[in-house]
Chains A and B, each alone.
Chain A
């Protein structure tokens, strides 16, 4: 008993009390965290489980019927539209990820390492505000701007230039996706750069590293976890996005998100739509784990 209670005595700044009260005190933080945990279970874990279960169900007379049938998986995974959409969506998400990283890094570098504390605060606020405004609205605005009779083409017409076909291609889709990813990616990279030990940069210069070497040998390795997080976030957002493909490419070619909606609309194929949904989640989880493994801090043995 004496031995067992030793660490508690040394650690206890709390007034002496029975074991019960101490345990209650330790349990309180857990108790306060419970609502969020319950919320997550009710609205994420359970629906996800249900989604997985539904992939094995059948549709009879436009109604769901419980079953254990692998046919949905087989049907979807081997279908050409799904495979095409999968490749296309991955392609689009990768391009958007690379683009947003390339565009965001210089900005984040300038904000985090070049600006005064005051200017930095303003720029960060400037990046946070768009995150809170409606994305659908912004994509819709892009549609108006880029449409054949939209702002850009009206401007071109006024200058006597031929109209440009801006809507409905890779360009418009990436503009839409960047609207979504760029502020977030810039913020993540900014915080990562602000969080790194800045004396490392000075030390590197002091030890003979050129500006390029400082960047490639010190700054980028130092924020590797941040780079991973930024990349995964950009990929996640653009891989699962529905608004940009719908508004800016007219769902053509369809991405996986659009394919889900189409599958449900045409014949209430909830199980097949679920297969697509679960596949998307699996791919995202895989990407997340992969990047996590790649960017983890170096560990020796």
Chain B
């Protein structure tokens, strides 16, 4: 990477009784769209707030554009943020909301009006400048918040769960729009979200956080295909985790003796014969075998029973407990045969060993 635009150096945030961010190091390139993701309380929002100067770190440094910003007050950083709550000023018109940062800078009323309306046009709210915030829909308000953050032509935009409060349809719509804005503006976007789909759809690079620590950072595809630990694997939907004793390696596969039988996983980690190795399988890689059918040659076969089922539109998630007591999570297209899969139904699972992923030993 060339000289990073944003550099977080051993950034630390310790509240009394809660260590929110632990010595975080992260470089973000100019123009990069980066997504900080993780469950609530993982430290992603705190990190964003520290970049904006709204929270003062208890340790470490923040550099933006080569300048040490650690002690610079929020109002002088030029790091506008789009908030989940939007934080639009209810006592100002739409236009005055967008013009607010310009007014703070002392721009003339004419320049403010012109720039604000340019941006309102740009986010598809042309002609709505005189309206009250309360007269706008949720999606329109979100656009006002985005226009307000971008009106000063910043070189960085911070977004804190900006789409979480919107319904699914609008979310996808605005997601597309954010991607378009990023393409056109070519500035750095730092996007905090707990949603994997948002992060994957938008970001050049995702940073998975947990317990105030970066678990893994990389392009979405890499993180999704090659999680470095059980947490990231689980966060990416590879919730099924097995382990066994290594018996040997052959043809690019590691062979393991598991409670469920003999298993193979692609050989991607250094292991010694006799060591215990765990691996994960994506929920979308598991298959149910039809009754009486055997698994294809070379594929494992695990029997168990259905313990639960979740139905999400076109896909369904089936929770299965194996006879050995392990939890499997299987996701597949809705086949319309839910009726036969009531809890307690015995089932047999299989998967292609090439889709399993050995977790690096730490």
Bound-complex Cα distance A208 to B154 (A): 12
Binary contact track B29-72/A, C-beta < 8 Å → 1, others 0: 00000000000000000000000111000000000000000000
With A200-B87, A208-B152 in contact, do A300 and B132 touch (Cβ < 8 Å)? yes
Bound-complex Cα distance A299 to B135 (A): 10
Most B CB contacts (10 A, CB to CB) among A197, A204, A207 go to: A207
Chain B neighbourhood of A222, CB < 8 A:
89-91
Q: How far is the CB of B80 from chain A (nearest CB, A)?
A: 6
**A299 pairs with B132, CB closer than 8 A:** yes
Interface size class of A (residues with CB under 8 A): 20 to 34
**B104 pairs with A208, CB closer than 8 A:** yes
Question: Does B105 belong to the interface (CB within 8 Å)?
Answer: yes
Chain B neighbourhood of A203, CB < 8 A:
81, 83, 87, 89
Question: Does B85 belong to the interface (CB within 8 Å)?
Answer: yes
Bound-complex Cα distance A199 to B160 (A): 13
Binary contact track A238-274/B, C-beta < 8 Å → 1, others 0: 0000000000000000000000000000000000000
Pick the interface stretch among A144-152, A172-180, A213-221, A281-289: A213-221
A187-203 contacts to B (CB < 8 Å):
197, 199-200, 202-203
Chain A neighbourhood of B91, CB < 8 A:
221-222, 224, 297-298
Question: Does A99 belong to the interface (CB within 8 Å)?
Answer: no
Question: Does B93 belong to the interface (CB within 8 Å)?
Answer: yes
Question: Does A206 belong to the interface (CB within 8 Å)?
Answer: yes
Bound-complex Cα distance A200 to B86 (A): 9
**B75 pairs with A205, CB closer than 8 A:** yes
Question: Does B79 belong to the interface (CB within 8 Å)?
Answer: yes
Question: Does B351 belong to the interface (CB within 8 Å)?
Answer: no
Bound-complex Cα distance A218 to B101 (A): 12
Select A207's contact among B85, B93, B130, B148, beta carbons within 8 Å: B148
Question: Does B22 belong to the interface (CB within 8 Å)?
Answer: no
**A210 pairs with B132, CB closer than 8 A:** no
**A210 pairs with B103, CB closer than 8 A:** no
Bound-complex Cα distance A200 to B101 (A): 13
The B interface is mostly helix, strand or loop, or mixed, namely loop
B interface size (C-beta, 8 A) = 31
Chain A neighbourhood of B78, CB < 8 A:
208
Bound-complex Cα distance A218 to B91 (A): 9
> CB-nearest residue of chain A relative to B135?
A300
Question: Does B119 belong to the interface (CB within 8 Å)?
Answer: no
Question: Does A209 belong to the interface (CB within 8 Å)?
Answer: yes
**B104 pairs with A217, CB closer than 8 A:** yes
Bound-complex Cα distance A37 to B52 (A): 53
Chain A neighbourhood of B76, CB < 8 A:
208
Chain A neighbourhood of B92, CB < 8 A:
221, 298
Select A300's contact among B52, B79, B101, B131, beta carbons within 8 Å: B131
Chain A neighbourhood of B149, CB < 8 A:
207
Chain A neighbourhood of B189, CB < 8 A:
none
> CB-nearest residue of chain B relative to A199?
B87
Question: Does B191 belong to the interface (CB within 8 Å)?
Answer: no
Select B52's contact among A206, A297, A298, beta carbons within 8 Å: A206
Select A205's contact among B54, B83, B85, B130, beta carbons within 8 Å: B54
Bound-complex Cα distance A205 to B130 (A): 24
Chain A neighbourhood of B347, CB < 8 A:
none
> CB-nearest residue of chain B relative to A220?
B91
Bound-complex Cα distance A238 to B92 (A): 33
B81-133 contacts to A (CB < 8 Å):
81, 83, 85, 87, 89-93, 100-101, 103-105, 130-132
Question: Does B74 belong to the interface (CB within 8 Å)?
Answer: yes
> CB-nearest residue of chain B relative to A223?
B91
- Interfacial residues, chain B to chain A (CB-CB below 8 A): 52-54, 73-76, 78-81, 83, 85, 87, 89-93, 100-101, 103-105, 130-132, 135, 148-149, 152
7 contacts between A and B (CB under 8 A): A199-B87, A204-B89, A205-B73, A206-B53, A207-B148, A208-B105, A299-B132
Supplied contacts A202-B87, A208-B152, A300-B130, 17 more A-B pairs, CB within 8 Å:
A197-B85, A199-B83, A202-B74, A205-B73, A205-B74, A206-B53, A206-B54, A206-B80, A207-B75, A207-B101, A207-B104, A208-B78, A217-B103, A222-B91, A297-B91, A298-B93, A300-B132
- Interfacial residues, chain A to chain B (CB-CB below 8 A): 197, 199-200, 202-210, 213, 217-218, 221-222, 224, 297-300
6 A-B pairs with least C-beta separation: A203-B87, A207-B101, A208-B104, A199-B87, A205-B74, A221-B91
